[in-house]
Amino acid sequence: MDLSRYLTEKKQLVEQKLDLLVAKDSEIPVITEAMRYSLFAGGKRLRPVLALLSCQLFGGLEEEVLPFACCIEMIHTYSLIHDDLPAMDNDDLRRGKPTNHKVFGEGYAVLAGDALLNHAMETMADIIVKNPRLEYIRALDIICKSSGISGMIGGQCIDLYSENKEINLDTLKSMHAKKTGALITASLAAGAIISGAEESDINNIMDFGNLIGLAFQVTDDILDVSGSEEKLGKSTNKDVRIHKSNFISFYGLEKSRKIVQELIDEAKVKLNNYGSRGYYLRELADYIINRDN
């Protein structure tokens, strides 16, 4: 099967599960409507798919990893809702659709974000209380860490204080490692841990995650200057307009492309030990460079 068919299949699987995990509430419909609006606004589902790919790599059971993969997507989605708020990035469009606060108002957008984060934790706690396997607990722990102040939220903070400010390359890299890299890496780690991978394999797949996470972000910066607004579903050249440092401002377009290629090559080396089982993860690493949205 080629990667795009694989991705479509897994995306569907994730969305079916998300539909069950974040069901419409009849008593307070507005909150689940707002949560579901952003949850089903057409994301790539990169993080949950990475968790499932990591599960496949280590011979785990997909149905065990799937709910954790969906919780990671809830956390990712909440971060986008809050990130789009007027007080943060002030974005009107996300994936070609009006952002959450444009549809539901700012108050509900704040609450829908809070609710998705809480619901992710609640869903994992529910699984663990029924089946207190240490692997599930470890997955919860790493997901919590990756989305917290030493991970995603920390990265958001660096992002916020970097606006209209000169930052150095180390800060830029640290920002992306936290803001985007941490949750991508946690997705792979959670998939590996739940699948019973050895510690050395867990560390190895996390190294792979750090490399593709950074490559993903540099590609985002490349698409910001060279991509199509229509395909991206959001406005381009945003970083230049708001005077925000990105990889292009440090390296220029050509060198940035070279850096992405090097990161992806290095990432693929991490998969050398896994033979044909690493096929889709290798393909996915290539897809990160070649994507147009």
Q: CB of residue 25 vs its own copies: minimum separation in angstroms? A: 6
Q: CB of residue 152 vs its own copies: minimum separation in angstroms? A: 8
Look at the block and give the residue holding tokens 């990265």: 155
By beta-carbon proximity to its own copies, the closer residue of 82 and 234 is 82
By beta-carbon proximity to its own copies, the closer residue of 123 and 226 is 123
Q: Would you state the structure tokens that stand for residue 160, as one six-digit string?
A: 């916020």
Q: CB of residue 174 vs its own copies: minimum separation in angstroms? A: 8
By beta-carbon proximity to its own copies, the closer residue of 103 and 128 is 128
- Residue 166, burial from CB neighbour count under 10 angstroms (0-12, 13-18, 19+): exposed
By beta-carbon proximity to its own copies, the closer residue of 11 and 178 is 178
By beta-carbon proximity to its own copies, the closer residue of 92 and 126 is 126
By beta-carbon proximity to its own copies, the closer residue of 1 and 30 is 30
Q: If phi over 0 gives left and psi between -120 and 50 gives alpha, with beta otherwise, what is residue 236?
A: beta
Q: CB of residue 90 vs its own copies: minimum separation in angstroms? A: 10
Amino acid at 282: R
Q: CB of residue 278 vs its own copies: minimum separation in angstroms? A: 28
- HSE-up of residue 116 (Cα within 13 Å, Cβ side): 30
DSSP notation for 30-70? HHHHHHHHHHTS----HHHHHHHHHHHHTT--HHHHHHHHH
Q: CB of residue 267 vs its own copies: minimum separation in angstroms? A: 26
CA proximity to 120, closest of 18, 10, 11: 18
Mapping DSSP onto H, E and C, the string for 74-134 reads: HHHHHHHHHHHCCCCCCCCEECCEECHHHHHCHHHHHHHHHHHHHHHHHHHHHHHHHCCCH
Q: CB of residue 148 vs its own copies: minimum separation in angstroms? A: 4
Residues in contact with its own copies by the rule CB under 8 A? 25, 27-28, 30-32, 35, 78, 82, 85-88, 101, 105-111, 113-115, 117-119, 121-122, 125-126, 128-129, 132, 134, 137-138, 140-141, 144-145, 147-149, 153-154, 156-158, 160-161, 174
By beta-carbon proximity to its own copies, the closer residue of 182 and 184 is 182
CA proximity to 2, closest of 288, 263, 283, 255: 283
